[in-house]
Chains A and B, each alone.
Chain A
Amino acid sequence: MHSLIQLSIVVLLLPLLSFVILIFFNRRLPRRGDFIGVGILGTAFGISAYIFWSVIVQTYDPAFRIAWDFTWIDLGNVPGVGPLQIKMGIVIDNLTAIMLAMVTLISLLVHLYSTGYMAGDKNYGRYFAFLGIFTFSMLGIVLSDNLFAIYIFWELVGLSSYLLIGFFFEKDSAADAQKKAFLANRVGDIGMWLGILILYSQFHTFSFEQIYANLAAGKFALSNAWLTAAGILLFMGCVGKSAQFPLHIWLPDAMEGPTPVSALIHAATMVAAGVYFVARIFVMLTPDALHVIAFIGACTAFMAATIAITQNDIKRVLAYSTVSQLGYMVLGLGVGAYSASLFHLVTHAFFKACLFLGSGAIIHAMHHEQDMRWMGGLRKHMPWTFATFTLATLALAGLPLTSGFLSKDAILAGAIGFAKVEGGGIFYLIPVLGFFSAMLTAFYMGRQIWLVFFGESRTHLKPADNHHADHHAHDNHAVHGDDHHADHGVHEVSWNMRAPLVILAALSVFAVYSPDPLDGAKGWFMKMIPTPATVVGEANPQKGALLAATPAPHLAGIVSPSEVVASHPAAEPVAEEHGVASAAAGHGEEKGGHVYSDPRQAEIVHAGHAAHYTAIYISSIMVVLGIGMAFVVYVFRIIDPEKTAQAIRPLYLFSLNKWYWDEIYEATFIKGSIVLSKILSWFDTNVVDGIVNGVALLVRKFAFANNSFDKYVVDGMVNFTAFTVNTTGAVLRKLQTGKVQTYVAMLILAIFGYFVFYFTRLIY
């Protein structure tokens, strides 16, 4: 076993250890054992950092990959298949190394931050235990080398989110939210499960490597529609976990969890899992499946952005911005901007964690006020929070010099390239929605910054009764029973909450990822995460024909098992310029010195690169427009937001009520299920059981009838026979008198009778 594999197992199991220790012993430990959680995560991060260093910094090979597996379930010599084993295993490549470091770092920071934020909660120890199992589940997804293992940890992430979203379970809203999150995720999961089953039924394996090798070898016996279906179904898992339309509804409600948990869910774990998973299955997605993914992503990005602009709860704005940004990532994968999308996953994780933890600091300082309408002027009281929050906001809005600019721009450039290659038309909707969402993002983040940090405090404007209700509706942890009024008592948070903010803000600067503030492709990240070659390249023959000029055997690009077993000692001298590489370099030389095997992918990446500056110009204009509008509305007050809202009231309400998705689902699926369950239950009691009881009744009636028959007919016949015999006997007895004369007379009568009988026979 490779030493990095051993270390990664340690990293995986450490948070589980934290969970086990804390769930059983937290009440017996000093400080409820929070130091154990922080310490264990610190160790896990330390090891992950070492793995990152040795994989990314030292090896610096785009094709790096090591794997290890063991037999988990042995089904023996199965008839028709042969020896069949279900294996579990770990794979470490560049993506894994980056994700490991990111997940453990954010989890560590959230742990540290929580020691301040959650202090005094009555279930403080249990909280850290749940953080542990959440981190464990996410690390499991990151490390798994097969679909079955991913599905297992996928569900465990669902459990962990259930436990953490409902941490304040005494509140009905929290209990509702946790159930909603779990069920919405399960809907996605059944799709994912069916996708897994389609692949398993063909190849009798769950391993990515073997499935891809088989697909590349053309061993998929079903039609291409099944393959596309498999891709879309697997993607459904991502729709659930990464809160894509139409299963995004759970995520905003998940704000019921403690705020540091929101940071964990929305940045490093759970929502990232969906995008990560699509990246893992990227090579088997057919062009049709990718189109679906791209459109879903674009719709999600746009829809969530339109909702975010009207929300008043500081966390809900961030929640919808998360949904929107996840839409970007999914869009990016759909259009084939693989590296850019994963780049955005990582940059977003850091700045979004910073925003959530910052909002937590604000909420903490404001004594659990979450409504931005009653904030304002916090800049003076909370300078650290203000600075870090603003930097992260700039990254989210995608301003130059930030990490978010690099990654978002790369996705949008990819989207333009995609639309060009796919022949324009409807496909241009994807970049258009992307750019429009970028403008909305800049607008709502500008609005948030202004409402929270600038102007004067508006705490006193808050209606009193409303205040009370709101207070109960939000985090109700034990210590903050008293109603402080704003300014007195608003102060900067303590070091253990401030340090994570600073670290995360620092990671939102462009220099961490790329030397060029305008081009992410020049940075280490996009070089280390090249777009992998598809294994279903000719799934769409039309596209193949279109690009027939490119002499690219589609199978050349597959990552064959022999190549992936160990790390590539000698990275091929591939042209890294565009962040695109292939394990099978040398096949299919492209124009521009670009090494690529699949014509469609190559074309898209190429077009995306060409669109790089176009994307920069458009997105910069959009961001400036968005921020400008925020200034116009909230700073200069040229447009009154209240009046505008009144003027376009239906649109405003549409956005405020989140496009009414909750209401639609409530009225259809939820009501429908409950009504159906009542109908079936009624059917069960009255029809199915009714028939059973009816039959029983019939049998009983029959038994009664039988009884009567028995009593009157059968028994009657018996009695009748007895009666007849009796009567006959009585009659006959009279004949036996004992007198000879009577006997003689009877004899004569009999002889006479015989003669009469005999002669009548003769006559006739």
Chain B
Amino acid sequence: MLSLIVFLPIIAGLVILAVPSSQKQIIRIVSLLAALAQGVLAVLIWRGYDPALPGITAGPGGSPLGSFQFVEKVPWISLNLGGFGSLNIEYFLGVDGISITMVILTALVSAIGVLSSWTIQKQVKGYFILYNLLASAMMGCFVALDFFLFYVFWEVMLLPMYFLIGIWGGPNREYAAIKFFLYTLFGSVFMLLVMIGLYFSVIDPVTGNHTFSLVAMASQENYIKDAILGPDNVMWRYIAFIVLFIGFAIKVPMFPFHTWLPDAHVEAPTPISVILAGVLLKLGTYGMIRINFPLFPEVFHASMYVIGIFGAINIIYGAFCALAQQDLKKMVAYSSISHMGYVLLGLAAGNSEGMVGALYQMFNHGTITAMLFLLVGVIYDRAHTRQIDKFGGLASYMPVYAALVTVAWFASLGLPGLSGFISEALVFVGAFSSETTRPIAIVSVLGIVFGAAYLLWSLQRMFLGKRKADAAYDLEIGADGHEHIHFHDWKGKLDLDGRELAMLVPLVLITIFLGIYPMPVLGMLTSSINKLVQVLSPVVMSQM
């Protein structure tokens, strides 16, 4: 099941390879079908998932599969390295509460990304092959339970992203693409080193061999006491934690490693921005939850305060930077930085409320930010500019668009009744309840005000008031005596068309539904998070 959901897009990519590049519509439809099939599989996995099983670590009695579900585990690479023993890499997939929400999110955002890619005209075949490769790799990252396999997916993801920004992007695309690529590569090199260190420090309790299994690594009793990353080697464990953390923090992106994000977003085409903000950023925090924290719980415990401070910096610094932006897409990019700060803050709290909030925020940020970037794309398609000051009074002329923007903007500023509120609230509840992060939570609430400030200000400048003199559109009086506006060389419908509504309405509905009744997502999270909090708690560690 999981293999299918991971490799479906690649299969679609192979099919596309066989389609002549002139058949653009067929290529698009094949991709859409693959994405929809992925969505159906995600729903099946969701229906078949038992939320009572926590996952995270090995199950009771040291069962190596833990209480993960939909597990697929076969030996993949077995090399005899002579004196070094043998290298055992497994093809090990499975989901628990932490990953299943991300699987659903990935399927959803991928499908919406395909719809959004409909307007791509340049080298359609190449685009969709890369897009499908990216979709597979993302999904693979979320379900891989073997560190080596995770690393492979992680690296595979980089390549299509690099080309998708570098070829289909805006004017400064090459700079943005290479920046993205190098930054992430920088992080993953360290990850590789830590991964190898971990391999030689952990013994699979069943086979007695070294293993890359993340499930085995998450149980501290599987570590060799005096190995490089064994419990006795405190300094190396700290170093490993820090470099691994930086590797993931780059993806989040956490201040000060965030500057690739605004560039990448500004240059990337709309669907790629949607994928980037909707899914890719989550891999950073997912990596922390899946790998960084449970593998080094005592180091996590020691660094909660620091992580929280970085979270707060992200929240407030991101909000202030967003306030200063003139380019709407850049503003949304900085808002992503600000909102991912809530995830960091929630994780730093280290208690169930905070961590559930953080994971829920990952899901909600995925849907809400996807909406924001799609909406930015809508106006960019029409006006060929994203300068906030080039608009004004749009609410009068594009009422449906304005209504959806209002919903998305208010979702982003955390209005109750919309999903983002619940996750932010839980993050604050958690961060404040933990005495470690309480002062940080007090400072971070400023983010609530400044988040509202930049969003409402941009809303006002673009949609309220009247048309500005140098606006990106012309005003004309129609035959019926009403005012209309007209964008230069835009032939399509002025307000949202069917395809745009098909992308946006599902996201709006999800945002509203999960804002009123969050349990469908939270219910899957809670047992895993409660288990994780237990694994991370100092009480458990001291018994170790």
CB-based contact B352/A75 at 8 Å? yes
CB-based contact A169/B321 at 8 Å? no
| Residues A680 and B464 in contact in the complex (CB < 8 Å), given A170-B396, A186-B452, A187-B449 | no
CB-based contact B428/A151 at 8 Å? no
CB-based contact B449/A155 at 8 Å? no
Cβ of A187: which chain B residues have Cβ within 8 Å of it? 449
A233, B32: Cα distance in complex, Å:
51
Binds B, one of A54-62, A555-563, A669-677, A756-764: A669-677
- Nearest-CB distance from A574 to chain B (Å)? 39
Q: How many residues of B contact A (CB 8 A)?
A: 59
CB-based contact A677/B421 at 8 Å? no
A696, B320: Cα distance in complex, Å:
26
B269-301 interface code vs A (CB 8 A; 1 in, 0 out): 000000000000000000000000000000000
CB-based contact B526/A680 at 8 Å? no
Residue A200 at the chain B interface, CB threshold 8 Å:
yes
A51, B198: Cα distance in complex, Å:
67
Residue B387 at the chain A interface, CB threshold 8 Å:
no
CB-based contact A79/B432 at 8 Å? no
Binds B, one of A489-497, A502-510, A681-689, A738-746: A681-689
Chain B residues 494-544 with CB under 8 Å of chain A are 518-519, 522-523, 526-527, 530, 533-534, 537
Residue B440 at the chain A interface, CB threshold 8 Å:
no
CB-based contact B320/A175 at 8 Å? no
Residue A701 at the chain B interface, CB threshold 8 Å:
no
Closest to B528 in A: A76
Closest to A171 in B: B465
- Nearest-CB distance from A89 to chain B (Å)? 16
CB-based contact A175/B416 at 8 Å? no
A678, B530: Cα distance in complex, Å:
42
Residue A193 at the chain B interface, CB threshold 8 Å:
yes
| Residues A194 and B442 in contact in the complex (CB < 8 Å), given A179-B456, A182-B452, A689-B259 | yes
B448 touches which one: A76, A175, A186, A691 (CB < 8 A)? A186
Q: How many residues of A contact B (CB 8 A)?
A: 54
CB-based contact A680/B449 at 8 Å? no
Cβ of A78: which chain B residues have Cβ within 8 Å of it? 351-353, 530, 533
CB-based contact B352/A186 at 8 Å? no
Residue B88 at the chain A interface, CB threshold 8 Å:
no
CB-based contact B351/A80 at 8 Å? yes
Residue A156 at the chain B interface, CB threshold 8 Å:
yes
Cβ of A80: which chain B residues have Cβ within 8 Å of it? 351, 537
Residue B395 at the chain A interface, CB threshold 8 Å:
yes
A335, B26: Cα distance in complex, Å:
75
A155, B449: Cα distance in complex, Å:
12
A170, B421: Cα distance in complex, Å:
29
- Nearest-CB distance from A73 to chain B (Å)? 6
B366-395 interface code vs A (CB 8 A; 1 in, 0 out): 000000000000000000000000000101
- Nearest-CB distance from B520 to chain A (Å)? 11
Cβ of A197: which chain B residues have Cβ within 8 Å of it? 428-429, 432-433, 441
Cβ of B445: which chain A residues have Cβ within 8 Å of it? 190, 193-194
A165-187 interface code vs B (CB 8 A; 1 in, 0 out): 01001111011100100110011
- Nearest-CB distance from A223 to chain B (Å)? 14
B324 touches which one: A74, A153, A681 (CB < 8 A)? A681
Cβ of A674: which chain B residues have Cβ within 8 Å of it? 323-324
A159, B410: Cα distance in complex, Å:
9
Closest to A188 in B: B449
Cβ of B417: which chain A residues have Cβ within 8 Å of it? 152, 156
A11, B257: Cα distance in complex, Å:
51
Q: Is the interface of A mostly helix, strand, loop or mixed?
A: helix
Closest to B255 in A: A688
Residue A432 at the chain B interface, CB threshold 8 Å:
no
- Nearest-CB distance from A81 to chain B (Å)? 8
A650, B410: Cα distance in complex, Å:
43
CB-based contact B453/A183 at 8 Å? yes
- Nearest-CB distance from B427 to chain A (Å)? 11
| Residues A673 and B323 in contact in the complex (CB < 8 Å), given A74-B519, A159-B410 | yes
Residue A668 at the chain B interface, CB threshold 8 Å:
no
Residue B209 at the chain A interface, CB threshold 8 Å:
no
- Nearest-CB distance from B317 to chain A (Å)? 6
- Nearest-CB distance from A196 to chain B (Å)? 9
Chain A residues 654-711 with CB under 8 Å of chain B are 673-674, 676-678, 680-681, 684, 688-689, 691-692, 696
Residue B415 at the chain A interface, CB threshold 8 Å:
yes
Closest to B460 in A: A175
Residue A77 at the chain B interface, CB threshold 8 Å:
yes
Cβ of B425: which chain A residues have Cβ within 8 Å of it? 148
Chain B residues 407-429 with CB under 8 Å of chain A are 410, 415-417, 421-422, 425, 428-429
CB-based contact A201/B526 at 8 Å? no
| Residues A75 and B526 in contact in the complex (CB < 8 Å), given A170-B465, A680-B321 | yes
CB-based contact A673/B442 at 8 Å? no
A73 touches which one: B460, B522, B533 (CB < 8 A)? B522
Closest to B434 in A: A201
CB-based contact A79/B452 at 8 Å? no
CB-based contact A183/B449 at 8 Å? yes
B430-474 interface code vs A (CB 8 A; 1 in, 0 out): 001100001001100110111011001100100111100000000
- Nearest-CB distance from B176 to chain A (Å)? 12
Chain B residues 306-348 with CB under 8 Å of chain A are 317, 320-321, 323-325
Residue B356 at the chain A interface, CB threshold 8 Å:
yes
B526 touches which one: A74, A166, A200, A204 (CB < 8 A)? A74
Closest to A149 in B: B416
| Residues A182 and B456 in contact in the complex (CB < 8 Å), given A155-B416, A197-B428 | yes
Residue B48 at the chain A interface, CB threshold 8 Å:
no
Residue B256 at the chain A interface, CB threshold 8 Å:
yes
Closest to A154 in B: B416
Cβ of A633: which chain B residues have Cβ within 8 Å of it? none
| Residues A696 and B433 in contact in the complex (CB < 8 Å), given A79-B534, A170-B466 | no
CB-based contact B456/A76 at 8 Å? no
CB-based contact A175/B453 at 8 Å? no
Residue A84 at the chain B interface, CB threshold 8 Å:
yes
Residue B182 at the chain A interface, CB threshold 8 Å:
yes
CB-based contact B415/A155 at 8 Å? yes
Residue A189 at the chain B interface, CB threshold 8 Å:
yes
A193-210 interface code vs B (CB 8 A; 1 in, 0 out): 110011011001000000
Cβ of B393: which chain A residues have Cβ within 8 Å of it? 170
- Nearest-CB distance from B471 to chain A (Å)? 14
Cβ of B323: which chain A residues have Cβ within 8 Å of it? 673-674, 677
- Nearest-CB distance from B460 to chain A (Å)? 5
B530 touches which one: A73, A79, A170, A691 (CB < 8 A)? A79
Cβ of B465: which chain A residues have Cβ within 8 Å of it? 169-172, 175
A79 touches which one: B352, B428, B466, B518 (CB < 8 A)? B352
CB-based contact B457/A179 at 8 Å? yes
Closest to B446 in A: A190
Most B Cβ at <10 Å: residue of A76, A81, A691: A76
A681, B337: Cα distance in complex, Å:
13
Cβ of B453: which chain A residues have Cβ within 8 Å of it? 183, 673
CB-based contact A169/B351 at 8 Å? no
CB-based contact A75/B441 at 8 Å? no
A500, B527: Cα distance in complex, Å:
55
Query: Which A-B residue pairs are the 5 nearest by beta carbons?
Result: A681-B324, A76-B526, A677-B323, A175-B464, A152-B416
* A-B contact list, 11 entries, CB within 8 Å: A75-B522, A169-B464, A171-B465, A172-B466, A183-B456, A190-B445, A197-B428, A201-B433, A673-B320, A674-B323, A680-B324
Binding site for B on A (CB under 8 A): 72-81, 84, 148, 151-153, 155-156, 159, 162, 166, 169-172, 174-176, 179, 182-183, 186-187, 189-190, 193-194, 197-198, 200-201, 204, 673-674, 676-678, 680-681, 684, 688-689, 691-692, 696
Sample of 20 further A-B pairs with CB below 8 A, known A76-B352, A186-B448, A692-B259: A74-B526, A78-B533, A79-B352, A151-B416, A152-B417, A166-B464, A175-B464, A176-B460, A179-B457, A183-B453, A183-B456, A190-B448, A193-B445, A201-B432, A201-B433, A678-B324, A681-B325, A688-B258, A689-B259, A696-B179
